[in-house]
Amino acid sequence: MMKKIIEKGVIAVIFLLAFYSGLAAAHGKVSLESDVCVRNISGSMIHLSTYQPQYDPEAEYCTEIPKEGQTVWVLDLVDQALRDMPIDIKVVKGTGNALSDIVTTLYSTNHTDGIIKGEFDLDEGDYTLFVTGEGVPPLQYEYPLRIQMTNYTELMTAAIPYIITFLLIALITDKLLKRREMRNG
């Protein structure tokens, strides 16, 4: 009986290690159309990238920022029309209807290269980054930021295929071992 349990466990561990891809949250190298960090209003697109070089100099994030502290952000104004209008940027504590204090603001009028950069130092929690292009009509983009928080829904969604695979392997292994026992016994 113990031999069966060990065999099942070894097979499951080998399988999981062979197919483990990690649950990284970085987003780089995808097309603009499928990038979760792009916001598009009436064809005017912006792209947000966040970095924490003090922890991982190569990692690029979007709205799921892994650690609290200094975070460098870069806003790419993809649309030419946005580059010609003033841009107001606000970071507010909270999300949705639970917005509270304004944490930081930036007003940019000189961004002909299409890039606005800055840094913020945020504690753990939920925030919202508002980007407003002050044109006619004004364009308002919104990014919910999660600082050093585990998104359990995404974690479970990512783990479900592994759990199902493990259960299927355990079931198949159990059936095969029972069939072997019936032949030998």
Query: Where are the domains positioned within the chain?
Result: 1-24+150-185, 31-149
CATH code: domain 31-149 is 2.60.40.1930
Q: Given the structure tokens 């639970």, which residue do they identify?
A: 98
With 90 as the cut, is the pLDDT of residue 72 above it?
Answer: yes
Distances (CA, A) of 148 to 83, 101, 111, 145: 32, 19, 30, 10
pLDDT of 1 above 90: no
- In angstroms, the Cα distances linking 130 to 8, 155, 166, 171 are 51, 26, 42, 50
Residue 87 near residue 77 (C-beta atoms within 8 A): yes
Q: How far is CA 66 from CA 51, 52, 56, 75, 167, in A?
A: 10, 9, 10, 19, 31
Indicate whether 4 pLDDT > 90: no
What's the pTM?
Answer: 0.64
pLDDT per position as a tens digit, 100-153: 788 889 999 988 899 999 998 988 999 999 999 988 888 899 999 989 876 677
- Please list, in sequence order, all residues whose beta carbon lies within 8 angstroms of the beta carbon of residue 130, skipping any fewer than 6 positions away: 88, 89, 90, 91, 92, 140, 141, 142
Statement: residue 20 has pLDDT above 80 = no
